[in-house]
A and B are shown apart, each in its own frame.
Chain A
Amino acid sequence: MNPSNGKGSVSMASSSGGWKAGDVVLDQFPAGLRVLVVDDDPTCLVILEKMLRACLYEVTKCNRAEIALSQLRENKNGFDIVISDVHMPDMDGFKLLEHIGLEMDLPVIMMSADDGKNVVMKGVTHGACDYLIKPVRIEALKNIWQHVVRKRKNEWKDLEHSGSMEDGDRQQKPSEDVDYSSSANEGNWKGSKKRKDEDEETEERDDSSTLKKPRVVWSVELHQQFVAAVNQLGIDKAVPKKILELMNVPGLTRENVASHLQKYRLYLRRLSGVSQHHSSLNNSFVSNQEAAFGAMSSLNGLDLQTFAVTGQLPAQSLATLQAAGLGRSTTKTGIPMPLVDQRNLFSFENPKSRYGEGQQQQHLSSSKPVNLLHGIPTTMEPKQLAALHHSTPSLGGMSIQVNTRGGQSNSLLMQMPQPQSREQILNESTGSHVPRLPSPIGQPIMSNGIAGGVIGRNGIGDSGRGTLYSHVPPTSSMVSFPLNHPTELASNSFPLGSTPRISNVTSKGPFQEEVNAEIKGSAGFMPSYDIFNELHQHKSQDWELQDLQFNASQNANPVEGNLDVSPSVLVHPGYSSSQRIGQNRTASAIGRTIYSGIEGTEQGNTQIIGQNLNNLLADNPVRVKAERIPDSCNQTTLFPGHFGQEDLMSALLKQQPGGIGSTETEFDFDGYSMDNIPV
């Protein structure tokens, strides 16, 4: 092809662009699209630049992520889309992705010569809108404009929704957060999920494309103002409206704040949970609570778990709660669920058994982990968590939700991707409480200890909690708490008191942070054994998918150790949920599954988590003492693997008096905005 041909084809591409006629605002769109390319390989950088120029885009190239970030910050609104390499020496591509998502909200495309499923998954969970495998062909670059349009469309929709919600729904939902978050979530979700629908609405397309809503660029200063406002209000009380008022920035809308809040929560979760490299359980369904669900990926999983665990809420109940509260969550979970199912799903069978035993031990030994949970006051760990990190919107929303829900095992529930229905419910229910639920379950991944702690907090006495874990996905044969048996998360032992552990956990390792965060949230999470189990099970790979809140990114796997969370709650003695928790799933109900999952999943994670837990537990694998499990019913309920939502709900509700107390009452999903879970 001689150059002219190439050009010709290029121009054709740009002009025809498959662009729906009506939608094109700018005649030449996508020509002129402002692209920023970041890659440390000079050869690739030059080639990409040339290709993008051939597509008639405006290209800026950088070979350092830091430089790219500063360029983006200086030129707010100066770029439409960013393409970044995954492996870079100065900063991990995923980290850059997060930053951009948080601060500038631009679509980001990842690329790498690495086409391993894990890495691609990580891209997805961290919010990349696409992933290209090197060598990149020019054909692949010709269509990147679609991401820009899609994003704008979603933003526009969000705006629309928020607006209407504002007017009409004030009364409907008590918490504004929910409104906004949901709308925001919906918007985001839409992007991911209902792409088709949106696409079909040409009209909207027109608007979105033509509209070009002035995108709010979250500069460092603005972001700091935001963070200050959030901290002032308290992460759990931080609703967009109030934040907006505090910030007092002219031209800033509540919608802007709401979507940013979601991201922030996910980010926090992620931070607290695990370093990014861990399974980007971005699914951090940082539910409204934002409970520490900052770190999307790992955090989410963990958070939920912890919450779940501590939440003592039967996963199911959590899910239901969440579902109820969130409403949306179902949808959300829907997405992650499929993924999660594979992983985690609480192979309750295993964890249960473990759980029982582990719990006790964990409880005992890991008094610390339990503390973690305790640390996460049922009331709302989210605050703490939030403080820890930016809660990144949980992908699955599930995990987060669980946690927020008052730390009930909801989070756990959420995490349990497997029983999708269940989990969803859990997520939903837990959503609000998620933060609360120490979701040890979620944590399982993170640190077994945490889970334990979390669970413990919830006054593990929640027999009902155990039910939460019912989701133990059969797939995860987590029961074998291989690592530390996170399941030992001592659901038994955790009786709510364990929450304090959670806090401990946080201090430990990355996961710990997440765990802590999560635990914090999940005051009464059921032992996130499940989560842990799940974590184990799904080694990083799955977990990432499982946004289920199991932030327990693989790192979290250590959960085993962390499963201090009174697994009892989550775990049925049989749960090796702790094992599952490898992933950062919100241990809550899910915890059980988590445990199983965790075990299955990376050992490494469990280790990490375990470490945390260990620290807490004093190196005792979280043993969920089966005996401890106060409620045999928990076990039964939990393990059956299919806890009727009703069961969970009731379990959860019953637990209220326990440490969970507040958490349960907090099942006001409304408050939890489902963060946009970039999927």
Chain B
Amino acid sequence: MEVGQMQRRLADYTKSLFMEGILDAQFLQLQQLQDESNPDFVVEVSSLFFEDSEKLLNDIARALDQQSVDFKRVDAHVHQLKGSSASVGAQRVKNACVAFRNFCEEQNVEGCVRCLQQVKQEYCLVKNKLETLFRLEQQIVAAGGSVVPMTELGF
């Protein structure tokens, strides 16, 4: 596949992520921050996000597994996850976190467990999608092309 084709494919793919609400405008901000001095910024931040989120998700799962659930703690973790997912633009993850917090407030264990599943799902989804996106970008760069971040959500 030639570069032009790959670039088009990447653009379409990226657009689809936005359309599906998996990513939001914040992601664009990150892309805009990337520059020659820091060409892998988005990838780096995303990796950080993945690492951090996995840890948080594990912590939450553990906390919910306790005999007597410490909702404050769970809420704190969820809040952090909400903040970081919002910062990278992982919109669906963020929304799932918002819902999760409500259950925490209600101290509803079952609800929380369900929400955790939901958050995990969304997280896995965004992780896969982003990894695919990065792969596409790498291919383009490897083929000599350049990756131009979207300037706007054109839809």
Contacts and interface: CB of A to CB of B under 8 A. Distances in A.
Interface of A: 1-7, 40-44, 46-47, 50-51, 54, 85, 87, 89, 112-114, 134-138
A47 B149 contact: no
Interface of B: 26, 28-36, 38, 41, 44-45, 48-49, 51-52, 76, 79-80, 82-84, 86-89, 148-149, 151
Contacts of B26: 135, 137
Given A1-B151, A2-B148, A50-B33, A135 B89 contact: yes
B82 A51 contact: no
Q: Which 5 A-B pairs have the closest CB atoms?
A: A3-B35, A113-B83, A43-B84, A135-B86, A6-B32
A633 to B, nearest CB: 47
Contacts of A87: 76, 79-80
B83 A112 contact: yes
A157 to B, nearest CB: 37
B33 A43 contact: no
A47 B36 contact: no
A134 B86 contact: yes
B33 A40 contact: no
Given A1-B149, A43-B88, A44-B87, 14 more contacts: A3-B33, A3-B36, A6-B32, A43-B45, A43-B48, A44-B83, A47-B30, A50-B41, A50-B45, A54-B33, A134-B83, A135-B89, A137-B29, A138-B33
Contacts of A40: 80
Contacts of A5: 32, 151
A3 B88 contact: no
A114 B83 CA distance: 8
Given A40-B80, A42-B52, A113-B82, A4 B35 contact: yes
A50 B88 CA distance: 13
10 contacts: A2-B151, A6-B32, A43-B48, A44-B83, A47-B45, A50-B41, A51-B33, A113-B79, A136-B87, A138-B29
Given A1-B151, A113-B86, A7 B80 contact: no
A43 B88 CA distance: 8
B121 to A, nearest CB: 20
Contacts of B88: 43, 47
B75 to A, nearest CB: 10
Contact of B38 (A50, A89, A135): A50
A46 B76 contact: no
A2 B149 contact: yes
A6 B79 CA distance: 30
A136 B33 CA distance: 13
B37 to A, nearest CB: 8
Contacts of B45: 43, 46-47, 50
Contacts of A46: 44-45, 48
Contacts of A113: 79, 82-83, 86
A281 B148 CA distance: 50
A135 B94 CA distance: 10
Contact of A43 (B29, B52, B151): B52
A41 B84 contact: yes
A46 B52 CA distance: 12
Contacts of B151: 1-2, 5
A462 B86 CA distance: 57
A599 B45 CA distance: 48
Nearest to B34: A3
A616 B49 CA distance: 51
A136 B84 CA distance: 11
B64 to A, nearest CB: 19
B152 to A, nearest CB: 8
A42 B79 contact: no
A76 B41 CA distance: 32
B79 A114 contact: yes
A85 to B, nearest CB: 8
Given A1-B151, A42-B48, A87-B76, A135 B87 contact: yes
Contacts of B34: 3
Given A135-B86, A138-B29, A43 B35 contact: no
Contacts of B38: 50
Contacts of B36: 3
A40 B149 CA distance: 29
Nearest to B26: A135
A43 B76 contact: no
B44 to A, nearest CB: 7
A138 B44 CA distance: 18
